[in-house]
Structure 1
């Protein structure tokens, strides 16, 4: 049974239960499922919502689709490609942080070196940019069941209907402070893993072909530059928006949630440093101060948005 069907079965089986029982069972059963996925994965990629995970997955999808001649329009998230061709790796793309997905990080921390996935990646992005986009995602796009599971583990759950952007970004459990902790924790895992790789969202902007080629080499695939360039074009923001509106992808998560509402699309502005356009100057300065004081300097975000 494909991994996505197992997740759907758990959600369906618990759907009729009262909220407390429903969230408890979903958290436990889905955590077990993600733990098992992690144990058998060849590649684990940690990607927080709004870090460019869709962009990276679309590029990887296109390279494998074209290189191996796969007849699929389902972007890889776990076993989709391995089920079509046994030569291809099993993936886990997960935030590894919220609710049941924390089982990914917890499982990695318990595995012996010999049992670790052969490759580990972290998709990083400037936390200020994530914070603004994550606010729109959490309050307007995320599914009710995911929001319910996240809220169930918060000491002080937030109301997505009324929370302001400023309050969301400052929130210790889900805003900028949490995003900084998230990056620091995964950076530490990258250092400890023999084949850990940090991929920055900003590098995909400034050098998309070179960055994708580095990712594919990390996955053990050395493909022609022409194929890399085609995958970059395919996964460009404008083309992804077009494909999203045309419902090209089989993944339900890659479809616009509400027609006519630009803040409910999966691919929003895809810009670097856009948080400064959204926030008041004092709020943006606070973001910069927090990053300089707390974020691991390995990311280069304490100096400039492009790492220069």
Structure 2
């Protein structure tokens, strides 16, 4: 039986649906990507929730470095849901999601404050918060210049007022768009409440991870159930 990576599974959803009409393409992608996202979350031992441009990838690089040093793994490998655990079962599975936009919101629904009891609510969950003003500027550049067409299309179908990345100004994006500053503030507040109500939930700030990287990362690894020493974290 083939054991496909999550990246291959995602490609097998995106590529065959590309020629379809937009409405059909988005509906099918949302359905099947949501199923993949939920499967990744359920398999994971540790969940990272964070809005795009909140430092999620940076945190994964820092966590990856700990396992690279402990298990003598290549520096080029970044910890994903199944990247390391497929080779070394002792390494916990990690999943990162924004828990809000399009198909990723299916994970968010299960972790929302007041949601019915389910297995995800008993996992270790970190919300990586960041000043929404700082997110907004980076998010503008990400969405208008670097976001994949597939992801942008899914988000545009998710919001009430689709965004034309070729014409929108930074000011209009940040102040008036459906994914601008007001939405970012609500997102941060909502997820702060969500993790507060979880059995093993924790909020860490991007700014704190930058100013106090060793103690902050050490707390995060403890939430993961790991026993990295301060010296390992400092390395």
TM-score by length of 1: 0.71
Q: Following the alignment from structure 1 to structure 2, what is the Cα–Cα distance between the partners of residues 181 and 195?
A: 22
CA contact (8 A) 2:41 2:120 kept: no
**2:6 is equivalent to residue 3 of structure 1:** yes
Query: 2:28 maps to what in 1?
Result: 25
Query: 2:178 maps to what in 1?
Result: 173
Query: 2:225 maps to what in 1?
Result: 220
| C-alpha distance 115-126 of structure 1, shift in aligned 2 (>3 A) | closer
Q: Greater CA deviation, 1-10 or 32-41?
A: 32-41
Show structure 1 runs of 4+ deviating over 6 A: none
What SS does structure 1 have at the residue aligned with 2:225? coil
Structure 2 spans left out of the alignment, 5+ residues: none
User: In structure 2, which of residues 141, 147, 157 is the aligned counterpart of residue 142 of structure 1?
Assistant: 147
CA contact (8 A) 1:46 1:96 kept: yes
Q: Following the alignment from structure 2 to structure 1, what is the Cα–Cα distance between the partners of residues 45 and 163?
A: 36
Q: Following the alignment from structure 1 to structure 2, what is the Cα–Cα distance between the partners of residues 25 and 223?
A: 42
TM-score by length of 2: 0.92
| C-alpha distance 87-116 of structure 1, shift in aligned 2 (>3 A) | farther
Deviation at 1:60, TM superposition (A): 0.3
What SS does structure 1 have at the residue aligned with 2:84? helix
1:7-62 Cα distance to aligned partner (Å, 9 max, x none): 11111121121222111110111011112222232111101111011111110010
Query: 1:130 maps to what in 2?
Result: 135
Q: Following the alignment from structure 1 to structure 2, what is the Cα–Cα distance between the partners of residues 195 and 93?
A: 16
What SS does structure 1 have at the residue aligned with 2:86? helix
State how 1:45-194 maps to structure 2 within 5 Å: 45-71=48-74, 73-109=76-112, 112=117, 116-194=121-199
Q: Please, what is the CA RMSD of the aligned residues?
A: 1.7
Q: Following the alignment from structure 2 to structure 1, what is the Cα–Cα distance between the partners of residues 120 and 48?
A: 16
Structure 1 spans left out of the alignment, 5+ residues: 231-308
Deviation at 1:165, TM superposition (A): 0.7
Deviation at 1:114, TM superposition (A): 5.4
